[in-house]
């Protein structure tokens, strides 16, 4: 199979899974394993194409985000929103810097960890969907700073592929009384600095791998993930609003179980 087809497949997987709580990184790495892609470049590819999905958030929420930027000098509420994103971003940024090599060299190449994480995370989603406290906050742009910090700490669990960045942040938000839809939207906003930071760090660390041919593959994956994510973000919000987290919890458990069965049987 040509590498450009691999790039398209991985781009579709990234776009489908970046914003739903099933772990885009875990799904990308399991897909990479199933396709037999052993070159270290594909680990870098899995990180860098996430920026395409993040661009979809910027496009879909451009009016809200740009409005907040324009009002920063004059509007205390806009400044508090910006500060809440910065505060929520810092814990995972620190953990990512400290554990970057371990994450890439060990966790990224341990598919059984990813499958177990999918199942455990699925059980957590089912549990939280039932026991989360009644929501007290329904505007993702007006969260208290301490709430944002708690969400940022929850995001740190996503260093383990299969855990899910969006799942961790949504669960953390709901436990602190944030409405499900607002939790999902804050997760989208927090993804912007988080994924841009991961992109810059990984691009610099892997700069020797970014030859012309690899840049072409990255462009294919980037565009594919952007287009697919544009559709998925709206669907994600509709499902979370109407059905909660249970559909994603069961999806994680099924995918993780299939992955473990495939790994133990030697199919992948």
pTM over 0.95: no
Each domain of the chain, given as residue ranges in start order, spans 3-109+132-244
Report residue 219 CA to chain centroid gap: 19
Tokens of 181: 């839809």
Tokens of 28: 């990308």
Positive or negative, the CA dihedral 114, 118, 123, 125 is positive
**Residue 75 CB partners (closer than 8 Å, separation 6+):** none
Positive or negative, the CA dihedral 125, 242, 234, 93 is negative
Per-residue pLDDT at 210 exceeds 70:
no
Give the pLDDT of residue 75.
Answer: 93
Give the pLDDT of residue 100.
Answer: 67
User: Residue 229 in contact with residue 19, Cβ under 8 Å?
Assistant: yes
| 38-96 pLDDT tens trace | 887 887 888 788 888 888 989 999 998 999 999 999 999 999 999 999 999 999 888 87
Give the single-character DSSP code of 72. T
């Amino acid at each position: 199979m040509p590498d450009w087809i691999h790039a398209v497949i991985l781009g579709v997987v990234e776009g489908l899974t970046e914003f739903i709580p099933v772990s885009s990184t875990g799904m990308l790495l399991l897909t990479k394993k199933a396709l037999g892609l052993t070159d270290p470049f594909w680990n870098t590819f899995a990180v860098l194409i996430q920026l395409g999905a993040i661009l979809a958030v910027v496009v879909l929420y451009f009016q809200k985000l740009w409005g907040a930027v324009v009002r920063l000098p004059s509007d205390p509420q806009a400044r508090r929103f910006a500060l809440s994103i910065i505060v929520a971003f810092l814990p995972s940024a620190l953990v990512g810097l400290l554990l970057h090599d371990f994450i890439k060299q060990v966790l990224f190449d341990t598919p059984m960890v990813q499958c177990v994480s999918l199942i455990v995370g699925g059980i957590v989603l089912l549990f939280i969907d039932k026991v989360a406290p009644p929501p007290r906050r329904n505007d993702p742009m007006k969260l208290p700073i301490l709430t944002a910090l708690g969400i940022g700490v929850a995001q740190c669990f996503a260093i383990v592929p299969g855990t899910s960045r969006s799942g961790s942040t949504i669960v953390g938000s709901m436990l602190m009384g944030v409405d499900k839809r607002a939790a999902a939207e804050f997760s989208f906003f927090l993804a912007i600095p988080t994924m841009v930071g991961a992109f810059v760090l990984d691009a610099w660390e892997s700069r020797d791998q970014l030859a012309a041919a690899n840049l072409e593959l990255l462009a294919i994956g980037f565009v594919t993930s952007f287009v697919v994510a544009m559709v998925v973000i709206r669907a994600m919000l509709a499902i979370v609003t109407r059905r909660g987290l249970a559909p994603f919890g069961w999806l994680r458990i099924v995918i993780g179980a299939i992955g473990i069965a495939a790994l133990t049987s030697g199919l992948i």
